[in-house]
Structure 1
Amino acid sequence: MIKMKSFLICAIVAVAALFASCDKKVGQTIYTSNINPPANSIDLWTSADLTLKVGQIVHFEHKFSGSIGIYYGYVISNTNIIDLYEDKREEPNTLLVGGSFHGVYSFIAKTPGTTLFYIFEDYRGTVTFKHTNLIKVVEK
């Protein structure tokens, strides 16, 4: 019984953390069956250090599985340089805790400067994978 309560608490915290990370000034969550990234955007999973022009879009695919306890998140050291543009998600399999979905976070280069972009995978409260991009934004 205690294990089940702990798991449910972890799942609820994971869901809350996921949706809290989507609450941004710029961008919005879009529930859609078309979760493809914007055309000509750069995949952050397959890149390391990038130089972008103001207005250029980058993205990464993410997933969430409440039943397993996995979600992907990100940290941007300076959101004045690059920030969330759009969060596309497919409809969750269920509205209950434990539903899963895939999606694409897209980000836009806003002003010249340099920022660190950190992607992480959280497995039941433990960071199990991370990917870092150093992003430099220049004028068009």
Structure 2
Amino acid sequence: MPLHMIKLCVGVDSVEDLEAHVRARLSAGSGVEQTHVTRVMPKRAAEMVGAGSLFWVIKGQVQVRQPILRFDAIRTEDGVERCRIVLKPDFVRTWPVPKRPFQGWRYLLPAEAPADLGEGADLSELPSALRRELAELGLL
């Protein structure tokens, strides 16, 4: 079973916002790959590449995941070594699960990862605020 990561998606109000942000960055010529830069390279990166996903926490709930393609060690303009996470720009919605704020990223074991919404359970038509409220009430 692959290992996953979980991270807060700060400044984004919904999965649709995240998708639009990624589309805009990719179409603006910022590269052909979707990337996210973080401070620390995961020690267990090999367990995630090609099989694991980055689960995004949006507005206090895990709502979507993206497959991890690879990790690149980079040096930023200020000379600091960082980790560039290269993600497949595919957004797989998950069952909403509440998650308290935390700093940075965390490993997410497969047994703890929320399940994908799957075929017959398309909740994307519901407004994100309603999905969030239903999940908080334990109805999703």
TM tier, smaller: under 0.3
**Richer in strand (by share):** 1
TM-score normalised per structure 1: 0.28
TM-score, normalised by the number of residues in structure 2? 0.28
